[in-house]
Structure 1
Amino acid sequence: MKKTLLLFSFTLSSLSAVFAQTAQDSLALMAQAYQTYTDSINASMKYEKGTIKLSNGIATIKVPAGYKYLDAKQSNYVLTELWGNPDRGSSLGMLFPEHAGPMSDSSWCFNIEYDEIGYVEDDDAEDIDYEELLTTMKQEVTDANTDRVAQGYEKVELVGWASNPFYDADKKILHWAKEIKFGDSEENTLNYNVRVLGRKGVLILNAIASMNDLKAVKGNVHAVTDIVAFTDGNKYENFNPDVDQVAAYSIGGLVAGKVLAKVGFFAGLLKFWKVIAIAIAGAGTSLWKWFTGRRENDERRTLNQPERRSLEG
């Protein structure tokens, strides 16, 4: 009987080890499948270099050294299908670092858009109280969360400035950065904004990244501030007050604009894998405790059984 119990105990121990190994193998296979999927997504993207004429004809982009350009169609796919942003179809393209892609672990990019809001007057640039503006922006983001959640998206919190607003009056370029928290995400998102003023609107270059990328993005902002060239007739100095529309707001209004950030599938899938890993590890731990608990009880019963018989006899 004792041999049988010891054999049973050994079998339980072996099964627990097999289960733990199976769980690890399963997790490894899942991680491998995810890596294969992300690699295939990155490999499917077709990039361009050189001087790119934007599809709306407003401007050209000279792709800087160390970067590659993803066209408008692919960029809108990345934003909506891969990163889970609301479908706006407004991207004119993306600039990715040379050795990165939309599904890379440390992926970040500059998303390019154009907003035909009219001619932005810049005579208020030196008078803006950006801390007061930040307080207003935080409240507006909070107020918008009801509609955002109702549409199936995570709530958003504007944490603060990641880089204070700065306007270059000579180049007509404005840039600033916001730190944003999405839902319960452990890692905040960096929203680095660049605006190039034109005759009828502004060209937008938004850096979409995590806060861990702040140093890299901030160090590369200079690389994208001089790559935009408005086409003839669309330059800031081409403004004609007799026929052109003036924007409803100026520099401060640009800084207070709405948020577009990297959310959804990419971050959500990483959370999903983390949950799976924890679930498997938890199940393995529970089963191990069950197995070892049963074994310890069996061993105690085996050792105590002769003594009980002696007392009972």
Structure 2
Amino acid sequence: MIAYVPAATLHAAPPSAATTAAQDDVQARQRAATEKLLKDLNRQTGTIPIAAAKAELNLGDRYYFVGPEQSRTILVDIWRNPPAAANGVLGMVFPKGKSFADDTWSAVITYEDTGYVSDDDAKTIDYNAMLADMRKSDEAQAADTRAQGYPAGILQRWAQSPTYDGGKHSLVWARDIKFDDTPEDTLNYDIRLLGREGVLSMNILASMSQLDEVREAAKTFASVGSFKSGARYVDYNAATDRKAEYGLAGLVAAGGAAAVAKKVGLLAVLAKFGKFILIGLVAAFAAFRNFFARLFGRKPALEASEWEAPSDEDKAG
């Protein structure tokens, strides 16, 4: 699982002079990166093509889109997430008049070429049972998560129970997640638009105090995305097209713990769609950016270079 390291200030010992100097250096670089990006930010409005998904976002002038390169700068250089957090991110969306430097929500846009996801299970999924399984799994994994130096997150409830719109082929749900040592719960709103060849994902990252605002935004976002002719859900050809090995339950479970994914048969295709499985997990932790005092606050436990996996040569040495 990809996870994010909590702030170094979780350690009880007071920081040394060297540590303080390093933190000051990180904050200075964050500040410089923020000021530069705010000046150069390319805010795109109107209809935004998402070529990788054969889709587009019809944002109008209420929201604006930031492309993948500047999104990576926001996620990695400024919010101090590991570089892997930006892999596969096609862009981010913010409300008009706000930016990554404000206390506002943002939406991370991704697409996964999973194949056609059947909605045949739409009316038979017991989401209350799934919620209970997710919570139990979070609780069971909490000790190991803390032992690795990460804050444990426990699912509290559905902030919005999963709802599927069969006409728009969109699945929307929201989770209330409690992370260790945070005064406010994290809100993770998930929106999935089903297409002929895969799923366009919009993960809205916010805090629970923004629930009302984000709920309204989510209603809009469930309609702003559309696949182009030939790539739409209704264009699926069972005789020729690849089909995912899971349905709507799998999409929801993909944003939860492995134990839940296993119950709906999702782990059987982990080798094929591992990246897709991780997207929901990454988004959930990305919503936790405020824990890092995301703008000019506390330094994460690792520098960006240290997030990179060691090479075989390094391991051998």
TM-score (norm 1): 0.69
Compute the displacement of 1:151 (Å).
6.2
Q: Does 1:220 find its partner at 2:253?
A: no
Given candidates 138, 159, 164, the residue that maps to 2:161 is 164
User: Cα 1:102–1:119, aligned 2, differ >3 Å: closer, same or farther?
Assistant: same
Compute the displacement of 1:214 (Å).
0.7
**For residues 248 and 214 of structure 1, what CA distance do their matches in structure 2 show?**
33
Q: Matched residue of 1:232: which SS?
A: coil
Identify, as 1 or 2, the structure richer in helix: 1
User: Cα 1:57–1:34, aligned 2, differ >3 Å: closer, same or farther?
Assistant: closer
Aligned residues: 243
Given candidates 73, 93, 96, the residue that maps to 1:95 is 93
User: Cα 1:251–1:265, aligned 2, differ >3 Å: closer, same or farther?
Assistant: closer
**For residues 132 and 184 of structure 1, what CA distance do their matches in structure 2 show?**
28
Q: Does 1:180 find its partner at 2:177?
A: yes
Partner of 1:48: 44
Given candidates 104, 115, 118, the residue that maps to 1:118 is 115
User: Cα 1:273–1:174, aligned 2, differ >3 Å: closer, same or farther?
Assistant: closer
Q: How does 1:123-162 map to 2 (within 5 A)?
A: 123-145=120-142, 153-162=150-159
User: Cα 1:164–1:35, aligned 2, differ >3 Å: closer, same or farther?
Assistant: same
Partner of 1:67: 63
Q: Matched residue of 2:123: which SS?
A: helix
**For residues 295 and 127 of structure 2, what CA distance do their matches in structure 1 show?**
34
**For residues 150 and 225 of structure 2, what CA distance do their matches in structure 1 show?**
33
**For residues 182 and 166 of structure 2, what CA distance do their matches in structure 1 show?**
37
Contact 1:83 1:263 in 2 (8 A): no
Contact 1:85 1:263 in 2 (8 A): no
Q: Alpha-carbon deviations, 1:19-65, whole Å to 9, x = none?
A: xxxxxxxxxxxxxx899765555334221112211141521112233
Report sequence identity in percent. Answer: 35
Contact 1:110 1:207 in 2 (8 A): yes
Q: Is 141-150 or 116-125 further displaced after alignment?
A: 141-150
Contact 2:30 2:296 in 1 (8 A): no
Q: Alpha-carbon deviations, 1:83-122, whole Å to 9, x = none?
A: 3444141111111001111121x22111111122221111
Of structures 1 and 2, the larger Rg is shown by 1
Compute the displacement of 1:146 (Å).
6.2
User: Cα 1:271–1:109, aligned 2, differ >3 Å: closer, same or farther?
Assistant: closer
Contact 2:190 2:204 in 1 (8 A): yes
User: Cα 1:257–1:150, aligned 2, differ >3 Å: closer, same or farther?
Assistant: same
Compute the displacement of 1:80 (Å).
3.0
**For residues 271 and 71 of structure 1, what CA distance do their matches in structure 2 show?**
20
Contact 1:182 1:263 in 2 (8 A): no
**For residues 289 and 210 of structure 2, what CA distance do their matches in structure 1 show?**
19
Compute the displacement of 1:152 (Å).
5.1
Contact 2:101 2:295 in 1 (8 A): no
Q: Alpha-carbon deviations, 1:199-221, whole Å to 9, x = none?
A: 11111011111111111010122
Q: Which amino acid aligns with 2:96?
A: E
Unaligned 5+ runs, structure 2: 1-27, 256-280, 299-317
Contact 1:71 1:93 in 2 (8 A): yes
User: Cα 1:197–1:82, aligned 2, differ >3 Å: closer, same or farther?
Assistant: same
Partner of 2:250: 253
Compute the displacement of 1:143 (Å).
4.7
Q: Matched residue of 2:241: which SS?
A: coil
Given candidates 287, 291, 297, the residue that maps to 1:267 is 291
Unaligned 5+ runs, structure 1: 1-32, 275-313
Partner of 2:74: 78
**For residues 89 and 30 of structure 2, what CA distance do their matches in structure 1 show?**
27
Q: Matched residue of 2:293: which SS?
A: helix
Q: Which amino acid aligns with 1:93?
A: G
User: Cα 1:69–1:85, aligned 2, differ >3 Å: closer, same or farther?
Assistant: same
Superposition CA RMSD, Å: 3.0
User: Cα 1:148–1:242, aligned 2, differ >3 Å: closer, same or farther?
Assistant: farther
**For residues 43 and 145 of structure 1, what CA distance do their matches in structure 2 show?**
41
TM-score (norm 2): 0.68
**For residues 188 and 171 of structure 1, what CA distance do their matches in structure 2 show?**
30
Q: Which amino acid aligns with 1:83?
A: W
User: Cα 1:68–1:235, aligned 2, differ >3 Å: closer, same or farther?
Assistant: same
Q: Which amino acid aligns with 1:67?
A: Y
Contact 2:170 2:191 in 1 (8 A): yes
Compute the displacement of 1:148 (Å).
5.1
**For residues 36 and 81 of structure 1, what CA distance do their matches in structure 2 show?**
10
Q: Which amino acid aligns with 2:133?
A: T
